[in-house]
């Protein structure tokens, strides 16, 4: 296994250059046109065939025999609508957009893995599918990639692995767990209809702002008083909008936020209670309330126990057993979940924290950065995961012709 780390280290600068190039030109979900072109240019240089476009801007490449067994590796490509505040020389050139979640690193690491796999293609015991996916940040790009058949193409995918940079763990470590690793999530939109009027005469209005305030307060009791304290759940209202003038009570107020749960059943419970509680608070205050869940909700990200066992073995051989960090589930969500609903897989956090470099900020922060020494580790880990999974599938005879 360690030879893959050595080979990845030998192309470190190539991987880093790709990451820095992508970092300067961040693109939001389903707008990753330049990013997609950069990926295809590198695949062309490596002589790796691919399918494009998939789910608008996605790219799906393939290395190996073209026959079963087949293992997939996935990287997301999109950035966030955040103004970058780092002082790195390769900071974002796109105003109001930033790779604040490390997807630039994800793409660079998977391209690094592609280069290593291509160099050893004749020795591969099967097929490795490379999935470059758009729109993870709320756009459910993983769901659209699955609908486009990336898991079903010939040969069909039997295992899938993904990495995410993890600023809470030091470089050289990898985090994960069996079972639920990340939460289910959905957006919630709440509209409160009252009757507006002059702010000096509130008695002849039906105030949706006061009603909205009561709703925000009451919703907090769902998790604190109705959910098992040992169960994971989040009800967060993150925005509210109502009137524009200081002396006018508006006719409507709107709120939005997110719901999170570690199980599908828990998500159903939260949705049901949000709807009933907001409706009843609205009625008590003479307002009508409408609740909707826009967008595509993300299911929980669940790691297959056998794939997690394989990952632990690979990390131990590659980096050392002490570098495997088993962690509790987190309430962040990931659309890698759409893949693991269909095939066994494992999602891992790659440590990128380095206090000496100032790489300490969390993802989605305008000053997020990462330790680039982690990039060749991620590329080598991709390769090692794919090869061990292929070897195990072949040993079991799973999905083989004849």
- What integer pLDDT is reported at residue 1 of this predicted model? 76
Q: Where are the domains of the chain?
A: 2-182+300-396, 184-292
- What integer pLDDT is reported at residue 400 of this predicted model? 61
Angle subtended by helix axes 103-119 and 12-24, to nearest 10 = 150
Q: How far apart are CA 56 and CA 54, in angstroms?
A: 5
Contact present, 364 and 138 (Cβ < 8 Å): no
Q: Are strands 197-198 and 248-249 parallel, antiparallel or unpaired?
A: antiparallel
Q: Please report the beta strands in 312-384, taking only residues with DSSP state E, as ranges in sequence order.
A: 324-326, 345-353
Return per-residue pLDDT of the chain as tens, 402 residues.
Answer: 789 999 999 999 999 999 999 999 999 999 999 999 999 999 999 999 999 999 999 999 999 999 999 999 999 999 999 999 999 999 999 999 999 999 999 999 999 999 999 999 999 999 999 999 999 999 999 999 999 999 999 999 999 999 999 999 999 999 999 999 999 999 999 999 999 999 999 999 999 999 999 999 999 999 999 999 988 999 999 999 999 999 999 999 999 999 999 999 999 999 999 999 999 999 999 999 999 999 999 999 999 999 999 999 999 999 999 999 999 999 999 999 999 999 999 999 999 999 999 999 999 999 999 999 999 999 999 999 999 999 999 998 866 654
- What integer pLDDT is reported at residue 399 of this predicted model? 61
- What integer pLDDT is reported at residue 397 of this predicted model? 85
pTM: 0.94
Q: How far apart are CA 156 and CA 148, in angstroms?
A: 13
- Is 184-292 the same fold as 2-182+300-396? no
Q: Which CATH number fits domain 184-292: 3.40.50.1980, 3.30.70.360, 3.40.50.410, 3.30.230.10?
A: 3.30.70.360
- What integer pLDDT is reported at residue 402 of this predicted model? 42
The CATH architecture assigned to 2-182+300-396 reads 3-Layer(aba) Sandwich (3.40)
In 3D, which of 33, 37, 23, 132 has the Cα closest to residue 80? 23
Contact present, 89 and 39 (Cβ < 8 Å): no
């Amino acid at each position: 296994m360690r030879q893959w780390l050595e080979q990845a280290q030998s192309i470190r600068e190539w991987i880093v250059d790709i990451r820095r190039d992508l970092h300067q030109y961040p693109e939001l979900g389903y707008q990753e046109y330049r990013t997609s072109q950069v990926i295809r240019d590198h695949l062309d240089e490596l002589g790796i065939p691919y399918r494009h476009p998939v789910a608008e801007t996605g790219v799906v490449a393939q290395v190996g025999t073209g026959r079963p067994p087949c293992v997939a590796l996935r990287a997301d490509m999109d950035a966030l609508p955040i103004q970058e505040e780092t002082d790195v020389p390769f900071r974002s050139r796109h105003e109001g957009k930033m790779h604040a979640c490390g997807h630039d690193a994800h793409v660079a690491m998977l391209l690094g893995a592609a280069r290593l796999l291509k160099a050893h293609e004749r020795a591969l015991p099967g097929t490795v599918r490379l999935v470059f996916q758009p729109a993870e940040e709320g756009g459910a790009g993983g769901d659209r990639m699955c609908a486009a058949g990336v898991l079903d193409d010939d040969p069909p995918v039997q295992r899938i692995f993904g990495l995410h940079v993890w600023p809470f763990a030091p470089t050289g470590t990898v985090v994960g767990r069996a079972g639920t690793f990340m939460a289910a999530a959905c957006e919630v939109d709440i509209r409160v209809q009252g009757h507006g009027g002059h702010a000096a005469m509130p008695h002849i209005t039906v105030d949706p702002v006061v009603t909205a305030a009561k709703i925000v307060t009451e919703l907090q009791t769902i998790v604190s008083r109705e959910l098992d304290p040992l169960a994971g759940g989040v009800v967060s209202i993150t925005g509210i909008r109502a009137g524009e003038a200081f002396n006018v009570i508006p006719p409507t107020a709107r709120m939005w936020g997110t719901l999170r749960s570690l199980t599908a059943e828990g998500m159903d419970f939260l949705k049901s209670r949000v709807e009933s509680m907001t409706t009843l608070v609205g009625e008590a205050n003479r307002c009508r309330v409408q609740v909707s869940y826009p967008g595509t909700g993300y299911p929980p990200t669940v790691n297959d126990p056998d794939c997690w066992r394989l990952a632990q073995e690979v990390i131990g051989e590659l980096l050392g057993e002490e570098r495997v960090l088993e962690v509790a589930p987190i309430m962040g969500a990931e659309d890698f979940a759409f893949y693991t609903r269909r095939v066994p897989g494992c999602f891992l956090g790659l440590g990128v924290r380095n206090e000496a470099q100032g790489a300490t900020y969390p993802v989605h922060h305008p000053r997020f950065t990462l330790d680039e020494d982690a990039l060749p580790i991620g590329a080598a880990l991709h390769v090692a995961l794919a090869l061990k999974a292929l070897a195990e599938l072949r040993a079991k005879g799973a999905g083989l012709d004849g």
